[in-house]
Amino acid sequence: MTEKETIKWLSRAYWLRIKIEKLQRQRDELESLAAGVRGTDYSKLPSRGGEPSTIADTVLGLVTMDQKIAGKVAEYTAAVDEITEMINSLGDERLSTLLYMRYVQGERWEKIAVAINYTWRHTLRIHREAIKAITEKMSHNVILICDKV
């Protein structure tokens, strides 16, 4: 595995969280629309014609959206667990903290630098070191898995 592939693997949690937030915003919009849907008094309408019930369509949309969100949350939780386990296996608290803040919490470099008490530039150097360490660890794990098969 290359360092670029490692970064992409670590970034999964961040991008899944973005997708979940997008789905939740869409659900909120749909729920807001549903709150505006009212029943129709058919006694005052001319016979024949008219629109099908939008209440049922809206409720179905909400249920579908909830199922999508639940699926993404499950995927996100599994990804975070897997990434956190790999990050913690490094055994270096400084590297683990940096990787966790960046790839699980999605923090900016400036905030990470302040949290670990280093300059922004040195934080990027430590990041390179952490990526190399986790790439080696992941490559080693792949070799061990291949040997077992």
8-state DSSP, 13: H
* Per-residue pLDDT at 149: 41
Phi-psi category of residue 53: left, alpha or beta, with phi > 0 → left and psi -120 to 50 → alpha: beta
Of the candidates 105, 113, 100, the residue with the CA atom closest to the CA atom of residue 18: 105
* Per-residue pLDDT at 44: 56
Structure tokens at 111: 């905030």
User: Given a cut of 90, is residue 109 above it in pLDDT?
Assistant: yes
| Buried-state track 39-70, b at ≥16 Cβ within 10 A, e below 16 | eeeeeeeeeeeeeeeeeeebeebeeebeeebe
* Per-residue pLDDT at 142: 62
**Percentage of residues in the chain having pLDDT higher than 90:** 50
pLDDT (mean) for 26-38: 77
The answer to whether the beta carbons of residues 17 and 76 sit under 8 Å apart is yes
User: pLDDT tens for residues 118-130?
Assistant: 999 999 999 999 9
Burial of residue 117, with CB atoms counted within 10 A of its CB: 0-12 exposed, 13-18 middle, 19 or more buried: exposed
* Per-residue pLDDT at 41: 55
Q: Indicate whether this model's pTM tops 0.75.
A: no
* Per-residue pLDDT at 57: 80
pLDDT (mean) for 101-120: 96
pLDDT (mean) for 85-103: 95
Q: Could you tell me the pLDDT band of residue 46, with boundaries at 50, 70 and 90?
A: low
The answer to whether the beta carbons of residues 136 and 4 sit under 8 Å apart is no
* Per-residue pLDDT at 146: 47
Residue with tokens 């595995």: 1
Full DSSP string of 30-64:
HHHHHHH-----GGGSPSS--PPPHHHHHHHHHHH
